[in-house]
């Protein structure tokens, strides 16, 4: 944190208007799921490749675009990770990006379109924490994704159907 990005005595309730870049080195996407017929937990991560947030007045007019590198899927199990990146699941060679484009933002949720494996579906993130600073803000949001809604149907029963995602995203005024 530099001198221009410290908390003020009176904390702002909304970020300053303008375009923010997602700080990919200070942001993360983690997930949990289940496998082996729901018996064992699986934890992993995705890497945010890039993103922007345009904060507008009113806040509901704000927009966001995030690109996630599909091949960044990682659970720490090399065999499973390679299998998930393959044509059986994410097919990262044909669909290298997972995108989220928000068209509605408020203090408690972000709604928009999630695109994975070439299929777009509505998605909503619940904002569970926000910290606003002078030239940046950090948001923690959660959502549940049904992989079958995106055509990822391999290993039904063996691989978990749902991924519970937690996003910790830091945005810096551009």
Question: For 96-130, how does the pLDDT look when each residue is reduced to its tens digit (9 = 90+)?
Answer: 999 999 999 998 999 999 999 999 999 999 999 99
In this predicted structure, the answer to whether residue 133 has a pLDDT above a threshold of 90 is yes
Domain that holds residue 24: 3-173
What percent of the chain has pLDDT above 70?
A: 91
Domain total of the chain: 1
* pTM for the full predicted model: 0.88
Are the beta carbons of 33 and 40 closer than 8 angstroms?
no
Question: What is residue 81's predicted lDDT score, i.e. its pLDDT?
Answer: 95
Q: Which residues contact 140 (CB under 8 A, 6 or more apart)?
A: 127, 128, 129, 130, 166, 167, 168, 169
pLDDT tier at 86, thresholds 50, 70, 90: very high
CB 59 within 8 A of CB 106: yes
């Amino acid at each position: 944190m530099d001198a221009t990005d410290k908390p003020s005595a009176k904390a702002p309730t909304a970020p300053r208007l303008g375009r923010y870049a997602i700080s990919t080195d200070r942001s993360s996407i983690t997930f949990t799921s289940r496998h082996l017929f729901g018996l064992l937990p699986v934890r992993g991560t995705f890497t945010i490749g890039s993103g922007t947030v345009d904060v507008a007045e009113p806040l509901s007019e704000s927009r966001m675009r995030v690109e996630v590198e599909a091949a960044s899927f990682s659970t720490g199990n090399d065999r499973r990770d390679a299998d998930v990146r393959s044509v059986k699941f994410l097919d990262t060679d044909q669909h290298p990006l997972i995108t989220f484009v928000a068209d509605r933002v408020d203090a408690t949720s972000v709604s928009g379109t999630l695109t994975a494996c070439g299929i777009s579906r509505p998605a909503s993130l619940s904002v569970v924490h926000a910290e606003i600073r002078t030239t940046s803000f950090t948001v923690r949001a959660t959502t549940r994704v049904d992989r079958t809604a995106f055509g990822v149907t391999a290993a039904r029963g063996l691989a978990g159907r749902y991924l519970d995602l937690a996003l910790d995203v830091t945005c810096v005024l551009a």
